[in-house]
Structure 1
Amino acid sequence: MKKENPFTITFGKQPNKLIARYEDTDRIISTFNADNAVSQTFLIEGIRGSGKTVLMTTVAKKLEEEKDWIVINLNPTMDLLSNFAIRLNSECNSKPELLSKGFNISAAGFGIGVNGEKVDTDYVGIIEKIFKELSKKKKRVLITIDEVVHDDNMRVFASQFQIFIRQDYPVFLIMTGLRENIDLIQNDPSLTFLLRSPKIVTGPLSILQITRQYKEIFEIEGDKANELANITKGYAFAFQALGVAYWNHSDGKLEDALSEFDELLDDFVYKKIWTSLTSKERDIVKTIGVDEVSTGDICKKLSMNNGTFAKYRDKLIYKGVMESTRYGYVSLALPHFYEVVKYF
């Protein structure tokens, strides 16, 4: 076994060991690489820790390896439009072959120079000038924005991005975010074009792939690896967290690894998820407990009618906390969620 733990619980970092979402990755890349792309945007949504950033990063790295792509990663807490202009300018200046001879840019000074003549312009003007140059070289630009929120900054940027698309510029966009934040952005009256954007929901990872990775990394029997994989329920962060914990306690008891597993889930994810739930939603979660339970039993224990419960059920499923695999029954979708939140 390797001395260095191959798993990571650092959000935003590409794990050394990850479960590839081949279908989703191929779908985005093939769409963006098409001669006439049916969409120039993709939205990736899901609960915290579901692998949204990893999927976007995987796509960005694969496209960055192709000679015709430029990848610009933006911070949603900064002014998106000006930040994009500055980063695009910096990327092009670092690769002189991207622009025509004599073409130089000074984004900080709002200046564009062609053959020694400087013309003052704004950030949008700078971006458009660069796009025109890149179009001549058949280059494409991918913008990635992680954990977007619905605010004026995003509204201005997305509105301008729509204009770039109308002008047939070679620019593409991937955004990740919590489901509620993505929905707010899509339903903004000024950003209705995003309603037509393909959306990917980061659901559970393949238990088969998790089993195979655990078996190989920990050098254990298939049944034991499958037992560990099923504990994660396919939840992306749980795959990493249980990997970290089991690596640290591989020579000890599974109970010790599960104890650390619960602590990692608590510290990194579950506290935030729990605080996002209403008081009644929390009551329902604690009533469900560890195993699958009938909706009738929940209603009886909480003195709630079926119609009222149905509304809360839909909200909890929407938030990625609850699942219903058969009629009349529900269970918690997140691994060890009850084991952690029962102490809250």
Structure 2
Amino acid sequence: MTRPSANPFTPGFGLTPVILAGRDLAIEEFTAALAGNVPEARAILISGARGTGKTVLLSEFRELALEAGWIDLRLHTSSTSLVEELRGQAIAHLRELDPDSETSKLTMARIASVAAQRDIHERYTGELEPLTVVLDRLARLAEEEGGGVLITLDEVQSVDRAPLHALTQHVQDLIGSGHAVAFLAAGVRTGVDALLDHEGATFLRRAHRIEVGSVDVGTAAEAIRMTVADTTKGITPEAAVLAGEISRGYPYLIQLVGSKAWQNSGDADTIEIEDVRGARDAVVAAMIKNVHGPALRGLSPRKREYLRAMLEDEGPSAVGVIAGRMGIESSQQSGFRQRLIEDDLIRPAGRGHVEYSLPYLADALRHEEREGVGADVEPDTGLTRSHRARRER
């Protein structure tokens, strides 16, 4: 008997899905950049709203680089010093790759017994050479093997400007020396935009910008169909189409609706349209809780009023009508409009119109009106005996 496949969908943030939807051109271009055909695309800045697949694309680029024989220096925004973390990772690789990383010196010998004593000197213990020299050495060793050095940094908007500037200076030095080096950074669009306004962000402003977002519904449906096709289950065409429509092309929701529909199908061989239809409420609830809830929690009353004034419209809202509903002059609404655009909560939708920027934001606002700001979407119910209690019975 064939063992049922595990759920192939990955709705957690930053988890790489089986099928990447709508990222073909970016992946193709970076692959060419690694090969040296488009060297200007080796410095990339990925931005987008939460749940649009920034970290996933960054991880895919990293995997492509590793397959091509590049060395990955992965930095973290939580580091107390990006430059020192870069040094530490570079030295760790040098200890493995550098044939001269360890030397020995004869310090004592006894001819009769043919005994000898040597002092072992590890070149990179207490390394005092400038970081530029260390990186240059690592890059040369990587290039001798047909690769290069990849430096990656996620959540770049959270990094202090000064250490980030110091880091990019070292990257520029490597590029200026003709080395094969790539720098990839990813972050929330609004934070990235603010970062680029800083005077020390010249290098990042010149980087190749990739803005990730939603894909069309047809692509979303095909991604769901292809994900299921790799398993022992199947999915009807109608179910795949409905799942794509529920996802509205938003990457996080593509994985979430696929996962919920898979769960609803149980041990059945095929995911039916009823399984997808039954997943919708749970999908919307998760979107409100995990994406919209955090975004709305710290919103000012006036911004929230602006968003709620849009609820009366089926489609895009006229900014003049919003102002009227708020009881302010049309010219006054422009400040709230701009700040909400910067918050990734609304976006322009034609001259004089705006619309919600992410799926189901209207549902989140209606939930707030019914239950109050910050109320759980799915209140916890039921009682469960703890693991400890079960073990001690």
Q: TM-score range by the shorter chain?
A: 0.7 to 0.9
The equivalent of 2:314 in structure 1 is 291
The equivalent of 2:12 in structure 1 is 10
Q: 1:301 aligns with which of 314, 321, 325?
A: 325
Maintained 8 Å contact 1:42/1:197? yes
Seen in structure 2, the aligned counterparts of structure 1 residues 36 and 226 have a Cα distance that, compared at 3 Å, is: closer
Considering only aligned residues, what root-mean-square deviation do their CA atoms show, in Å?
2.8
Which runs of at least 4 in structure 1 moved beyond 6 Å after TM superposition?
A: none
The equivalent of 1:321 in structure 2 is 345
Q: Secondary structure at the match of 2:242?
A: helix
Structure-to-structure mapping, 1:14-33, within 5 angstroms: 14-33=16-35
Seen in structure 2, the aligned counterparts of structure 1 residues 39 and 24 have a Cα distance that, compared at 3 Å, is: closer
Q: 1:333 aligns with which of 337, 357, 363?
A: 357
Structure-to-structure mapping, 1:192-271, within 5 angstroms: 192-215=202-225, 217=228, 219-250=234-265, 256-271=278-293
Structure-to-structure mapping, 1:44-59, within 5 angstroms: 44-59=46-61
Letter aligned with residue 294 of structure 1: S
Seen in structure 2, the aligned counterparts of structure 1 residues 277 and 255 have a Cα distance that, compared at 3 Å, is: farther
Q: 1:175 & 1:271 partners in 2: Cα distance?
A: 26
Q: Secondary structure at the match of 1:38?
A: helix
Structure-to-structure mapping, 1:142-221, within 5 angstroms: 142-148=150-156, 149-151=158-160, 152-215=162-225, 217=228, 219-221=234-236
Runs of at least 5 residues in structure 1 that lack an aligned partner in the other structure? 111-119
Offset, 1:255 = 6.1
The equivalent of 1:115 in structure 2 is none
Runs of at least 5 residues in structure 2 that lack an aligned partner in the other structure? 103-121, 267-273, 374-393
Q: Secondary structure at the match of 1:45?
A: strand
Q: Secondary structure at the match of 1:16?
A: coil
Seen in structure 2, the aligned counterparts of structure 1 residues 136 and 326 have a Cα distance that, compared at 3 Å, is: same
Seen in structure 2, the aligned counterparts of structure 1 residues 232 and 222 have a Cα distance that, compared at 3 Å, is: same
Offset, 1:145 = 0.9
> Would you say how many aligned residue pairs link Structure 1 and Structure 2?
330
Seen in structure 2, the aligned counterparts of structure 1 residues 186 and 293 have a Cα distance that, compared at 3 Å, is: closer
| TM-score when normalising by structure 2 | 0.74
Q: 1:233 & 1:150 partners in 2: Cα distance?
A: 32
The equivalent of 2:386 in structure 1 is none
**Is 1:38 paired with 2:40?**
yes
| TM-score when normalising by structure 1 | 0.84
Maintained 8 Å contact 1:43/1:199? yes
Maintained 8 Å contact 1:86/1:107? no
Q: 2:197 & 2:173 partners in 1: Cα distance?
A: 18
Q: Secondary structure at the match of 1:60?
A: helix
Maintained 8 Å contact 1:48/1:273? no
The equivalent of 1:109 in structure 2 is 126
Offset, 1:44 = 0.4
Q: 2:294 & 2:63 partners in 1: Cα distance?
A: 29
Q: Secondary structure at the match of 2:71?
A: strand
Q: Secondary structure at the match of 1:190?
A: coil
Letter aligned with residue 63 of structure 1: A
Seen in structure 2, the aligned counterparts of structure 1 residues 240 and 108 have a Cα distance that, compared at 3 Å, is: farther
Deviates more, 1:85-94 or 1:3-12: 85-94
Maintained 8 Å contact 1:107/1:126? no
Seen in structure 2, the aligned counterparts of structure 1 residues 76 and 283 have a Cα distance that, compared at 3 Å, is: same
Structure-to-structure mapping, 1:75-86, within 5 angstroms: 75-78=76-79, 79-86=81-88
In our comparison, the structure showing a higher alpha carbon Rg is: 2
Q: 1:304 & 1:32 partners in 2: Cα distance?
A: 54
Maintained 8 Å contact 1:85/1:123? yes
Q: 1:169 & 1:187 partners in 2: Cα distance?
A: 28
Maintained 8 Å contact 2:261/2:275? no
Offset, 1:273 = 2.0
Offset, 1:254 = 5.4
Seen in structure 2, the aligned counterparts of structure 1 residues 324 and 223 have a Cα distance that, compared at 3 Å, is: farther
Seen in structure 2, the aligned counterparts of structure 1 residues 62 and 203 have a Cα distance that, compared at 3 Å, is: same
Residue identity (%): 21
Seen in structure 2, the aligned counterparts of structure 1 residues 250 and 324 have a Cα distance that, compared at 3 Å, is: farther
Seen in structure 2, the aligned counterparts of structure 1 residues 227 and 137 have a Cα distance that, compared at 3 Å, is: closer
Q: 2:147 aligns with which of 99, 116, 139?
A: 139
Letter aligned with residue 291 of structure 1: E
Maintained 8 Å contact 2:257/2:283? yes
Seen in structure 2, the aligned counterparts of structure 1 residues 71 and 253 have a Cα distance that, compared at 3 Å, is: closer
Q: 2:242 & 2:224 partners in 1: Cα distance?
A: 10
Seen in structure 2, the aligned counterparts of structure 1 residues 30 and 315 have a Cα distance that, compared at 3 Å, is: farther
Letter aligned with residue 74 of structure 1: L
Offset, 1:199 = 0.6
